[in-house]
Structure 1
Amino acid sequence: MSKTLLYNAKVYVERGHFEEAVLVEDGIIRAVGGNKELLAAADAETEKRDCEGRTLIPGLNDSHMHFMQFGETRNQAMIEGVTSIDEMIRICREFAEAHPGHVKSGMHAIGWNQDLFTDGDRMPDRHDLDRISTDYPIVLERVCGHIVSVNTTLLNMLHVKENPEFKKEDFGVDENGEPNGLFYGNGTNLAKKVVPDFSLEERHRIILETMDYCVSHGLTSVQSNDVGTTFMDGPVAFDLFHKIYNSGEGKLRYRHQVCFNDLNEFRDYLENGEYAHREELYPKDSWLTLGPLKLFKDGSLGARTALMTNGYVGAPDNHGLEWIASDDMDEYCRLAGEHNLQVVTHCIGDEAVKRAIDSYEKAFVDGKNALRHTVIHCQVTSEELLDRIADEGILVFAQPIFLDYDMRILEELVGKELAATSYAWGSLPRKGAHVAYGTDCPVEDCNPFPNIYMAVTRKNLNGEPAGGFYPDECVDVETAVDAYTVESAYGEFMEDIKGRIKEGYYADMVLLDSDIFTVDPDRIKDILPVMTMVGGRIVFEK
Structure 2
Amino acid sequence: MVQTDHIRIAIDGPAAAGKSTAARGLAKVLGVDYIDTGAMYRAVALKLIRNEVSYQDADGLTNLLAHTDVDFDSGHVLLDGEIVDELIRSPEVSRLASESSAVLAIREKLSALQRGIAAQKSVVMDGRDIGTHVLPDAEFKFFLTASVQVRAERRALEMEAKGITADRETIEADIRARDERDSTRAHHPLAQAGDAILIDSTELDAQDVVDRMMAHIFQQREVIMDYLYYNGTIRTMNDNRDVVQAIGIQDGRIAFAGTNEEAKSISATEKIDLEGKFVLPGFDDSHMHLLHYSFINRAFPLLGVNSLQKILDNAKAYVAENQPWPEGKWLFGRGWNHEFFEDEKRFITRHDLDKISTDIPIIFIRVCGHIAAANSLATELMLAHPKAPGMMDKIEPENGLFKEAALKISYEIMAPPSQAEIEDMILYGVEHMNRAGLTTVQTDDFMSLPGKDWKTISAAYQNLEKQGKLNMRINNQASFATPGELKAFLDTGFYKEPKGDRFKIACIKIFQDGSLGARTALLREDYEGYPGERGIMMHDQNELNDMVSMAHDAGLPAVTHCIGDKAADMMIDAVEYALKENPRPDHRHGIVHLQITDMDILERMKELGMTAMVQPVFSGYDMDIVADRVGKKRESTSYLWKTLIKMGIHSSGGSDAPVERFDVLENIQIGVTREKLTGGPENGWMPEERLSVDEALRMFGYEAAYASFDEHQKGTLEVGKLADLVVLGEDICTVDPHNIKDIPVLKTIVGGEVVYEAS
The Cα shift of 1:123 comes to 0.8
Q: Closer, same or farther in 2 for the Cα pair 1:20/1:89, shift >3 Å?
A: same
- The one of 345, 354, 363 equivalent to 1:139 is 363
1:109-124 aligned at under 5 Å gives the runs: 109-124=333-348
Distance 2:339 2:648 in 1: 35
The Cα shift of 1:81 comes to 2.4
- The one of 44, 47, 63 equivalent to 2:286 is 63
Distance 1:505 1:93 in 2: 52
Q: Which moved more, 1:359-368 or 1:106-115?
A: 359-368
Q: Which moved more, 1:18-27 or 1:78-87?
A: 78-87
Kept in 1, the 8 Å contact 2:308–2:348? The answer is yes
2:38 paired with 1:38? no
The Cα shift of 1:395 comes to 0.4
1:162-311 aligned at under 5 Å gives the runs: 165-173=389-397, 179-230=398-449, 232-275=452-495, 278=496, 281-283=497-499, 286-311=501-526
The Cα shift of 1:244 comes to 1.0
Deviations 1:444-496 (A, max 9, x none): 11111110001100001111112100010001111100100110000010101
Deviations 1:391-434 (A, max 9, x none): 32110010111112111101111122221221111100011000
Kept in 1, the 8 Å contact 2:330–2:360? The answer is yes
Overall identity of the aligned pairs, in %: 33
Amino acid at match of 2:377: T
Q: Closer, same or farther in 2 for the Cα pair 1:163/1:294, shift >3 Å?
A: closer
Distance 1:101 1:335 in 2: 48
- The one of 88, 110, 133 equivalent to 2:311 is 88
Q: Closer, same or farther in 2 for the Cα pair 1:503/1:103, shift >3 Å?
A: farther
Amino acid at match of 1:50: D
Q: Closer, same or farther in 2 for the Cα pair 1:98/1:164, shift >3 Å?
A: closer
Amino acid at match of 1:351: K
- The one of 544, 547, 560 equivalent to 1:332 is 547
Look up the match of 1:346.
561
- Let me know the Cα RMSD of the aligned residues: 1.8
Distance 2:324 2:557 in 1: 42
Amino acid at match of 1:248: G
Deviations 1:349-388 (A, max 9, x none): 1111111111011112775652200100001111222222
Distance 1:336 1:367 in 2: 13
SS at match of 1:415: helix
Point out which structure has higher relative CO (alpha carbons under 8 A, 6+ apart).
Answer: 1
- The one of 581, 584, 603 equivalent to 1:387 is 603
The Cα shift of 1:525 comes to 1.3
Distance 1:301 1:164 in 2: 24
Kept in 2, the 8 Å contact 1:308–1:349? The answer is yes
Look up the match of 1:126.
350
Distance 1:112 1:265 in 2: 30
Kept in 2, the 8 Å contact 1:82–1:112? The answer is yes
Which protein is bigger by CA-based radius of gyration? 2
Q: Closer, same or farther in 2 for the Cα pair 1:163/1:62, shift >3 Å?
A: closer
2:369 paired with 1:151? no
Deviations 1:170-217 (A, max 9, x none): 2114xxxxx321011221111343333344333222211111100111
The Cα shift of 1:298 comes to 0.4
Look up the match of 1:530.
746
- Structure 2 gaps of 5+ residues are 4-224
Distance 1:516 1:93 in 2: 45
Distance 2:385 2:498 in 1: 44
Distance 2:678 2:514 in 1: 27
The Cα shift of 1:142 comes to 0.6
Kept in 2, the 8 Å contact 1:394–1:433? The answer is yes
Look up the match of 1:356.
571
By percentage of residues, which structure has more helix? Answer: 2
Look up the match of 2:733.
517
Amino acid at match of 1:72: F
Deviations 1:278-311 (A, max 9, x none): 2xx311x521111211100100000001111112
Look up the match of 1:176.
none
Kept in 1, the 8 Å contact 2:439–2:473? The answer is yes
The Cα shift of 1:273 comes to 4.8
Q: Closer, same or farther in 2 for the Cα pair 1:296/1:261, shift >3 Å?
A: closer
Q: Closer, same or farther in 2 for the Cα pair 1:101/1:37, shift >3 Å?
A: farther
Amino acid at match of 1:151: N
Amino acid at match of 2:675: K
Give TM-score scaled by structure 1 length. 0.94
Amino acid at match of 2:757: E
Kept in 2, the 8 Å contact 1:368–1:393? The answer is no
Q: Which moved more, 1:164-173 or 1:247-256?
A: 164-173
Deviations 1:27-51 (A, max 9, x none): 000111101101222x1x4311111
Distance 1:38 1:489 in 2: 28
Amino acid at match of 1:81: G
Distance 1:103 1:90 in 2: 21
- The one of 697, 721, 725 equivalent to 1:481 is 697
Deviations 1:85-114 (A, max 9, x none): 111112222333444477651111100111
Distance 1:35 1:136 in 2: 64
Distance 2:418 2:359 in 1: 21
Question: May I ask how many residue pairs the two structures share in their alignment?
Answer: 530
Distance 2:387 2:446 in 1: 25
Distance 2:324 2:297 in 1: 17
Amino acid at match of 1:241: Y
Look up the match of 2:162.
none
Distance 1:529 1:404 in 2: 22
Amino acid at match of 2:242: H
- The one of 22, 39, 57 equivalent to 2:247 is 22
- Structure 1 gaps of 5+ residues are 174-178
Q: Closer, same or farther in 2 for the Cα pair 1:230/1:273, shift >3 Å?
A: farther
